[in-house]
Amino acid sequence: MSELSSIADLIMGQSPPSSTYNDAGKGLPFFQGKTDFGSSHPRPRQFCSTPLKIAKPGDILISVRAPVGPTNIADRKCCIGRGLAAIRPQKIHGEFLWYNLRYLEPIIASLGTGTIFQAINKTQLGSVEVNQAGFNEVEQQKIAAVLGLIQHAIEQQARLLALTAELKKTLLHQLFTCGLRNEPQKQTEIGFVPQSWEVRPLGDYLTAAQYGLSIKGADTGSYALLRMTNQQHGRITAENLKYVELTAKEFEKFRLERQDILFNRTNSLELVGRTAIFELDGDHVFASYLIRLRTDAERLRPHFLNHYFNADEIQARLKSIASRAVSQSNISATRLRGFLIPLPSTSEQDEIVEIVTGIDQRLNFHRRKHAALRDLFRTLLHELMTAKIRINSLNFDECMECFKR
């Protein structure tokens, strides 16, 4: 083990006068803390015309206050404020040290002190012990290369996820304002919609709008109790379930059926209005801060309503009808019944559902791959940095080809 100060130079940041800050590109990019970090490199948002402390390309930037520990690599000459320090590798491979520090982040964070916010000084940072014993230069390079490939793959999936999400946002706007039949549009109370579409209150197409159970869930019980946390990307998931005991009569009253829609009626303004469709097997009931919506499926397809409610523009409109308190907002079943929605023919609803479902499948593919790569990175980072596996035991060429695909 080597103390960080013995294998790298440490430059603590210092913020220049705010009068020298600008967003016109004058001077050097100015990074103040973790909020300026990207996945690997910080993103210039502000510049400083009179820099005091300068980091060079290849320096590791570490957040030294609120929070302590997160890192990035400088990809250009830049000015660093007092929320950052620059670590300039001297006796160790630079990217290997970066990954080592990422592994050590919880330990570094624990060194932070302070009552208002956590911070770490140069002495504390320099005392961090880095495991480089037994890793020769070639091994350090190989470890950095393999972890770098996984990191690149994670970033690629994140970009694809963001692009696909933006595509969905644009597509939903197009579908719900223009439809699929190249019809003329008409102006309505909710904006432009195709000429043939009806605009009427949601309640005209519902067979039920029911509040859930006011009962606390437990770790065991006969029936799974679905909560707001079970709403994920427009679908109900069976993760972190709680359970309840009910009489047969109570269960029948609150039993969920496939294609029921669960609407989040009470939460922070950000989360109120979140909607998901139920399609799980087994016996499930739902909690009181959710509203179960059941549509007359011969006129309003449940999946169409679910996609409509989850469109960004519609989420904003739903939030506009919420009553607001200090920390919570609420949309009552009565208000929800009066919420205006546009309705095409059922055949056009089905086509729209098919299109949106296709893009949702692509989004879910990228989410799964992104999560799997992040899990692989965490596992491999731990195994390599603790020498539980050695890089030479991996098929390096095979790893390289795998992550290039």
| Pairwise CA distance, residues 83 & 64, whole Å | 6
Q: What is the pLDDT of residue 331?
A: 97
Please give the span between the terminal C-alpha atoms of the chain, in angstroms, as a whole number: 36
Clarify whether residues 205 and 84 are in a common domain: no
Q: In degrees to the nearest 10, what's the CA dihedral of 30, 31, 37, 42?
A: 40
Among 115, 69, 90, which residue's Cα sits nearest to residue 61?
A: 69
State the CATH number of the domain containing residue 392. 1.10.287.1120
Overall number of domains in the chain: 3
Amino acid letter, residue 314: I
Q: What is the pLDDT of residue 395?
A: 65
- Last residue of some domain: 343, 364, 388? 343
Which H helix or E strand runs over 193?
Answer: strand 191-194
Among 21, 261, 45, 1, which residue's Cα sits nearest to residue 133?
A: 1
| Pairwise CA distance, residues 217 & 316, whole Å | 31
Clarify whether residues 381 and 271 are in a common domain: no
Q: Name residue, tokens 């593919």.
A: 365
Clarify whether residues 224 and 120 are in a common domain: no
For 77, half-sphere exposure in the C-beta direction (CA atoms, 13 angstrom radius) is 6
Clarify whether residues 114 and 25 are in a common domain: yes
| Coil, helix or strand at residue 258 | coil
- Last residue of some domain: 113, 133, 153? 133
Clarify whether residues 326 and 382 are in a common domain: no
Q: In degrees to the nearest 10, what's the CA dihedral of 90, 94, 97, 99?
A: 170
Under a CB-based contact definition with an 8 Å cutoff, are residues 44 and 29 in contact? yes
Clarify whether residues 39 and 89 are in a common domain: yes
| Pairwise CA distance, residues 20 & 145, whole Å | 39
Clarify whether residues 202 and 306 are in a common domain: yes
Q: Name residue, tokens 């990019």.
A: 29
Q: What is the pLDDT of residues 74-95, one digit of tens each?
A: 999 999 999 999 999 999 999 9
Cβ atoms < 10 Å from Cβ of 166: 10
- Last residue of some domain: 343, 366, 382? 343
Q: What is the pLDDT of residue 362?
A: 97
Long-range CB contact pairs, 158-166, < 8 A, 24+ = 158/39, 158/370, 160/366, 161/363, 161/366, 161/367, 161/370, 164/359, 164/362, 164/363, 164/366, 165/363
Clarify whether residues 127 and 100 are in a common domain: yes
Which H helix or E strand runs over 163?
Answer: helix 137-178
State the CATH number of the domain containing residue 336. 3.90.220.20
Among 236, 202, 175, 155, which residue's Cα sits nearest to residue 358?
A: 175
Clarify whether residues 54 and 154 are in a common domain: no
Clarify whether residues 290 and 165 are in a common domain: no
Q: What is the pLDDT of residue 99?
A: 96
Residues (pLDDT < 50) of the chain are: none
Q: In degrees to the nearest 10, what's the CA dihedral of 333, 336, 338, 339?
A: 180
Q: What is the pLDDT of residues 127-178, one digit of tens each?
A: 999 987 678 899 999 999 999 999 999 999 999 999 999 999 999 999 999 9
CA distances from 192 to 257, 311, 356 (A): 34, 15, 20
Clarify whether residues 157 and 112 are in a common domain: no
Which residues span the domain enclosing 360?
A: 134-197+344-405
Clarify whether residues 181 and 225 are in a common domain: no
Amino acid letter, residue 138: V
Say what the pTM is.
Answer: 0.86
